[in-house]
Amino acid sequence: MPKKISEREEKLFEVLHDLVFVDYPFLEKFIFVKEDGTPQHKNTIRRALKALENEGYIQSFPVPKAHIRGADRLAYTLDTRGVQEASEILGGTDWDKRWTQRTPTYIHHSLQIANTLMTYKKNLPPGNGLEFIDYFSERRSFRNYGTWRSDKTGKQRQSPMTVIRPDGAFVLQRSVQGRTFRFLYFIEMERSRQRIENTLEKMYRYNQYVQKQTYRADMVFGDMDVVRVLFISRNNNERNRLRFHAQRAVTRDIEKIQGAILFATYDDVMSDPYGAIWQAKHAKEPDHVYTLTQKIDGG
């Protein structure tokens, strides 16, 4: 009997279309959940996944252990029929099957991004006045903030040097005294061997994105008030090294709109995403920690 496609399966196809890769813990925590928020039984989940895979909606494959903490695991992505279903759900798809042919290190990195984005979506604490608006995958977060110019043929183009390529992004909203404020968060999931010059270049480009006011009426994110960049490291030592080197980056335009360059570890994000876990580049006290929307006591 063909597998019945319910709201749960449609949600799975949409998530896989956006994030490309997820793992079993992600599915157990965010997709196959009961009305009370608890996960469904493991056997129920595995039967559903097996049925979807047998009928060509999804595919799974083992990912060898990468040079990060964590054992070998199964990764899940869309298969042919799943791409077709996602196209029906979303009114068209932006999918390239070559995306699934990635290295283990890239896939582990993508799994961390997927868990980070969904953790912020699903764990918004009640009573803090914040509203989660949306999350954006890597390919949806790509931006070119450069000026449009005509090339030799008269075609309008933007420079390849005026781009930002975050690993993902999400938007929060808060209403205060009748006014609505929107916060845009870019995510940079830092690898242990990330060269400092590459990281400084990222910070420079984010500052340029704000300086040129591209965050105003962005065609995908909308009209933003505050832009913050979240650098997420593997451990405290890497976070501290990154924060130290970041002092060389010019981010004045980000800071002028109460934005910030913030640093935390992946474990902190997973355990307390909306808590005071973030250290700020321009904070007066470097070791002080802030929440996502807290005003930075600048130096």
Last residue of a domain, one of 47, 71, 104: 104
Based on the domain organization, do 172 and 254 belong to the same domain?
A: yes
Residue 295 lies inside a defined structural domain of this protein: no
Based on the domain organization, do 273 and 133 belong to the same domain?
A: yes
**Residue 21 pLDDT:** 95
Based on the domain organization, do 40 and 187 belong to the same domain?
A: no
**Residue 271 pLDDT:** 96
Based on the domain organization, do 27 and 71 belong to the same domain?
A: yes
Residue 1 lies inside a defined structural domain of this protein: no
Sort strands 168-176 and 130-136 into parallel, antiparallel or unpaired: antiparallel
**Residue 66 pLDDT:** 54
When divided into structural domains, the chain yields a total of 2
Q: Which two tokens stand for residue 143?
A: 């931006």
**Residue 3 pLDDT:** 65
Helix orientation angle between 196-211 and 236-246, rounded to the nearest 10 degrees: 60
Last residue of a domain, one of 46, 73, 104: 104
Based on the domain organization, do 63 and 135 belong to the same domain?
A: no
Write the DSSP assignment of the chain as a string of letters. -PPP--HHHHHHHHHHHHHS-EEHHHIIIIISB-TTSPBPPHHHHHHHHHHHHHTTSEEEEEE---SSSS--EEEEEE-HHHHHHHHHHHTS----GGGGS--HHHHHHHHHHHHHHHHHHH-PPTTSSEEEEEEE-HHHH-EE-SPPEE-TTS-EE--TTSEE--SEEEEEEEEETTEEEEEEEEEEE--TT--HHHHHHHHHHHHHHHHTTTTTTBTTTBS-SEEEEEEEESSHHHHHHHHHHHTTS--HHHHHTT-EEEEEEHHHHHH-TTSS-BEETTBSSTT--B-TTPPP-B-
Based on the domain organization, do 44 and 134 belong to the same domain?
A: no
Based on the domain organization, do 143 and 65 belong to the same domain?
A: no
Based on the domain organization, do 88 and 133 belong to the same domain?
A: no
Based on the domain organization, do 128 and 275 belong to the same domain?
A: yes
Residue 292 lies inside a defined structural domain of this protein: no
Residue 291 lies inside a defined structural domain of this protein: no
Last residue of a domain, one of 45, 72, 104: 104
Residue 294 lies inside a defined structural domain of this protein: no
Based on the domain organization, do 155 and 256 belong to the same domain?
A: yes
Based on the domain organization, do 226 and 184 belong to the same domain?
A: yes
**Contacts of residue 98, Cβ cutoff 8 Å, sequence gap at least 6:** none
206: number of Cβ within 10 Å: 26
Residue 85 lies inside a defined structural domain of this protein: yes
In degrees, rounded to 5, the angle at the alpha carbon of residue 13 between the alpha carbons of residues 8 and 16 is: 120
pLDDT average per 10 residues of sequence, the chain (299 residues) = 78 95 94 89 93 95 66 85 92 80 88 96 90 95 85 79 94 90 96 81 96 93 97 94 92 96 97 97 93 90
Sort strands 163-164 and 226-233 into parallel, antiparallel or unpaired: unpaired
Residue 264 lies inside a defined structural domain of this protein: yes
| Residue pair 215/209 in contact by the 8 Å Cβ criterion | yes
Q: Tell which residue, 97, 14, 24, 31, has the closest CA to residue 63.
A: 24
Based on the domain organization, do 139 and 271 belong to the same domain?
A: yes
Expressed as residue numbers, the domain containing 151 is 123-280
β-partners of residue 62 are 74
Residue 112 lies inside a defined structural domain of this protein: no
Backbone angles phi, psi at 228, to 5 degrees: -130, 145
Torsion of CA 108, 113, 115, 119, to 10 degrees: 160
